[in-house]
Amino acid sequence: MMDLRLFSLTLLFSTILTPALSELCNPKDKKVLFEIKTAFHNPYILSSWKSNADCCTDWYNVECDPTTHRINSLTIFTDTNLTGQIPAQVGDLPYLETLELRKLPHLTGPIQPSIAKLQHLKMLRLSWNGLSGSVPDFLSQLKNLTFLELNFNNFTGSIPSSLSQLPNLGALHLDRNQLTGQIPSSFGKFVGTVPDLFLSHNQLTGKIPTSFANMNFDQIDLSRNKLEGDASVIFGLNKTTQIVDLSRNMLEFDLSKVVFSTSLRAVDLNHNKITGSIPAQLTKLNDLVLFNVSYNMLCGQIPVGGKLQSLDTTSYFHNRCLCGAPLPRCK
Ligand SMILES: *[C@@H]1O[C@H](CO)[C@@H](O)[C@H](O)[C@H]1NC(C)=O
Ligand SMILES: *[C@@H]1O[C@H](CO)[C@@H](O)[C@H](O)[C@H]1NC(C)=O
Ligand SMILES: *[C@@H]1O[C@H](CO)[C@@H](O)[C@H](O)[C@H]1NC(C)=O
Ligand SMILES: *[C@@H]1O[C@H](CO)[C@@H](O)[C@H](O)[C@H]1NC(C)=O
Ligand SMILES: *[C@@H]1O[C@H](CO)[C@@H](O)[C@H](O)[C@H]1NC(C)=O
């Protein structure tokens, strides 16, 4: 009888207490993660988050730092059942470097202000959700951010000019929202690295900041907005820009006056109000695989040489009087 009780007790210790003692998961982090799970209404996708399992070794959707065992990554991706807003408790995972909540169509509401507390955050990816409200100014406090992705949501309001204060930003994706106002002129001078800039599919108005003349973006996509005026500042002989998409805006400038760098690989200018002719200098761009100037007001002969004749006629069609190969010959 005694032995059996001792045996039961040993069993109790080994099954309940021993795993707890050897658990790597920080108890503060574990508590916060359970609060997050509750705030999301216990979705099936988080069913590995169990109290008798170690969040560092047994849970999905989170990762721990190998030495401190603090949670450094929370990634929830593609789930149509997860509902709710971003819980304030995400701000209580102080060592988070990656926060990724993506393709969660029922994740709604604003970007939670407590995210400003996450000073170690490098990667903030909140794309393809149903988030709304403004792109908050406080994101510029996250000085270690290298990647900021908020595309495919319902964000409104203007783009905070303070984002240019992020010293390590490599990519800024604000595309496919309902952002309004102008592109901040501060984006003509980022304090550190120049990010790849994706602002397409919004309702941005006004002119492209003249300060962009000093900027050497690697990739810039401003397509499908309501931008007006000159875009020649994006280009320049000495730039190393590779991809430029300015299609479907209301841009109005003389293409003959634009100087293109040989680094360009893709230039999409379709559906604007661009005048003038195609500069002969474009025949020198040996890496050009896309050059689409369709649906503009261009005139004159397409210069002969380089990649210009290898492009499809649809790259040039619907202009005022553009002619020559690959379009019909000039009269
Ligand atoms: C969503 O919920 C339904 C019903 O509870 C379930 O059958 C389905 O597997 C869930 N899908 C995911 C991706 O969790
Ligand atoms: C930011 O990044 C730098 C360089 O990687 C690192 O030294 C610093 O500790 C980081 N700061 C925070 C708050 O994580
Ligand atoms: C944005 O809001 C509209 C209506 O307000 C809705 O139809 C649409 O699905 C929303 N988009 C996203 C990505 O949530
Ligand atoms: C481009 O670089 C060349 C050689 O470094 C320099 O002479 C020229 O002034 C530069 N052009 C522009 C527009 O900055
Ligand atoms: C150029 O753009 C027009 C308008 O969007 C499109 O119809 C056409 O297919 C494009 N052509 C190429 C080669 O990209």
Mean pLDDT to the nearest integer, 151-174 = 97
Number of domains the chain contains:
2
User: Do the domain assignments include residue 112?
Assistant: yes
Structure tokens of 48? 């590995």
Confidence check: pLDDT of 6 > 70: no
pTM, 2 dp: 0.90
- Give the mean model confidence (pLDDT) for residues 140-163: 97
Domain span including residue 118: 57-216
CATH number at residue 74: 3.80.10.10
Does a structural domain hold residue 169? yes
Segment 303-316 shows an average pLDDT of 97
Tell me, yes or no, whether 38 lies in a domain. Answer: no
Q: How far is the CA of 191 from the centre of ligand 4 (A)?
A: 23
**Could you tell me the two tokens for 108?**
């709604």
CA distance 254 to 252: 7
For the segment 255-265, the average pLDDT, to the nearest whole number, is: 97
CA of 1 to the centre of ligand 3 (A): 67
Hey, is 211 helix, strand or coil? helix
- Residues 74 and 193 both lie in one domain: yes
The predicted pLDDT at position 22 comes to 82
Distant-in-sequence, close-in-space partners of 48: CB < 8 Å, separation ≥ 6: 58, 59, 60, 61
Q: Does 4 reside within a domain?
A: no
Spatial CA neighbour of 295 closest among 310, 316, 277, 275: 316
Q: Is residue 187 part of a domain?
A: yes
pLDDT (0 to 100) of residue 150 = 98
Taking only the tens place, the pLDDT of each residue in 9-67 is 454 444 544 445 689 999 999 999 999 999 999 999 999 999 999 999 999 999 999 99
Same domain? For 203 and 103 the reply is yes
- d(CA 217, CA 244) in angstroms, rounded, equals 9
Ligand 4 centre distance from Cα of residue 237 (Å): 7
Question: Which atom of ligand 4 is nearest to 259's Cα?
Answer: 13
- Return the closest-CA partner of residue 294 out of 235, 222, 246: 246
Span 83-118, pLDDT tens digits: 999 999 999 999 999 999 999 999 999 999 999 999
Residues 6+ apart with CB under 8 A from 34: 49, 51
Instruction: Quickly state the pLDDT bin for 294 (edges 50, 70, 90).
Output: very high
Domain boundary residue, one of 185, 216, 247: 216
